[in-house]
Structure 1
């Protein structure tokens, strides 16, 4: 596969996350709480990826390998927990802005750990994405929000753990088949959610049957597919570009909120969507240019 194809896979992974918020709102409006929705999401997501893993290529793993993968899956679960906690005290538009800081945190992590200095194009891309996220989140049209310290901390923690998830998905277990690796990462996320949220209500049959349709949808697009797509694409493009590509999450969230929920999306929000898509394109311009191979110049004496 070519580099742009791996980039497209990561982009689609970000789109999957963008399709979640709309159906989370539908689940909440149906009367289910955070623990029930999140617990069912990770439970169904883990089941789906493990079913796929049964029929996919596998590699014999040692206990240390399994332990590393499970631990690497902790940020998968923490991101959801931290983000939902931030929503308890912050307006949704402000909470997603804090989460969106993963865009520059990922580039910074790549600089620190991989010694890859961000190019001017990447810095410009990040700037465009940040501006676009502010517009797309509707902060300008909805006015000022009350900012709580607790919500701010939870929101920034969700950005850090999301970055860690992207970072680890591309650096851990590179020689392990993608589906098998994703299954263990997802399991690590499930264990984290079960420990922290303790969704005991899911063991009640009426609650489980009611939340199951939402959990199945959210599990597929929020737990099963993104780790799989990221483990395929991230090792080939790096966390810096990867975080830029996963910015596709916010435009999809805005579009679906308008189409499914019928929410009114202002012109500034649509402008933000355009900015984000433009920022992603700017971050990928270099990949679109064919690499020129150096051709040795023959000396005149040879003619």
Structure 2
């Protein structure tokens, strides 16, 4: 249960981000300042965690040696990452920074509740990419799931309520591009040096994202004094809930609950973001849109629920000679 709670809280943390970004825009901050301060805080917190992890590992090995248990056999040390591995991790972390840039920019054109719905299209995009890569048609269950997700998206996005008249094309394109970028991150991140210590993996991936953002948006806010204003608070909150807490909680919980259940628990990001849009940002969310959110959640959960259903056993055939 504690590992499931860890994954759930990690997803909830992601659901908070868009509301903080909208508030930062309301104070006049620009995209590069918002994302740059977020990743800078995440960079500092992640490397602090990596340093603490390294210190604790050294202490355990020393204690094991001192107690005569055999240091190497009791607490084996992981090999140091090569620069090739570090560069690979930094490259794998760049799509998540790109996702933040595209997603946060979409919030300038479309409501928060719609932006998170568009971002959630990574669910079917990942299935499509995997089917093309394997050259294998998705199962009937997956096709039904995609249909449920698509129908829920139409409802949750408000298209059935308001039509396409107030649907900003640029904002929608940015939101869908964020979903594409996030799909790339999901596909690549898990394959990038999986044997490395999770704390180091997270730190090097965030480093790659930070470098990308600082190249695209030079961090003038570090030198003009802007960082010492409210931007520091926004950056701290975004870095804490976006770049630090979720990776740590997911690294701790996903291996124990499994990827399927993690996807179900991770979908809690969606209702949290929509709820905060209605309560904090006072966006109008209709009953039909809420029904669409529920439908999207059912679509995400459906494969895992079906997988866990008990299979019927053949009658009388189990003990025949």
1:145 counterpart residue number: 166
- Number of equivalent positions: 295
> Which sections of structure 1, spanning at least 5 residues, go unmatched?
none
Which structure has the bigger radius of gyration? 2
1:254 counterpart residue number: 274
Q: Aligned-residue CA RMSD in angstroms? A: 3.4
Is 1:83 matched up with 2:103? Answer: yes
Question: What's the offset of the Cα at 1:30?
Answer: 2.2
1:211 counterpart residue number: 231
The match for 2:207 among 180, 187, 195 is 187
* Aligned residues of 1:132 and 1:274 also touching (Cα < 8 A): yes
1:20 counterpart residue number: 17
> Which sections of structure 2, spanning at least 5 residues, go unmatched?
58-77
For 1:14-163, what aligned pairs fall within 5 Å after superposition? 14-56=11-53, 59=78, 60-88=80-108, 95-113=115-133, 117-143=137-163, 144-148=165-169, 151=171, 153-163=173-183
Taking the aligned partners of 1:252 and 1:115, their CA distance within structure 2 comes to 36
* Aligned residues of 2:22 and 2:107 also touching (Cα < 8 A): no
Larger deviation: 224-233 or 254-263? 224-233
Change (3 A) 1:134 1:229: farther
Change (3 A) 1:213 1:11: same
Change (3 A) 1:112 1:8: farther
Change (3 A) 1:9 1:47: same
Taking the aligned partners of 1:12 and 1:110, their CA distance within structure 2 comes to 28
* Aligned residues of 1:186 and 1:227 also touching (Cα < 8 A): no
Question: What's the offset of the Cα at 1:246?
Answer: 4.3
Question: What's the offset of the Cα at 1:7?
Answer: 7.5
Question: What's the offset of the Cα at 1:117?
Answer: 5.0
Write out per-residue CA displacement over residues 20-78 of structure 1, whole angstroms, 9 at most, x where no aligned residue.
11111111222222222111111111211221121225741011110100011110111
Question: What's the offset of the Cα at 1:254?
Answer: 0.7
TM-score (norm 1): 0.81
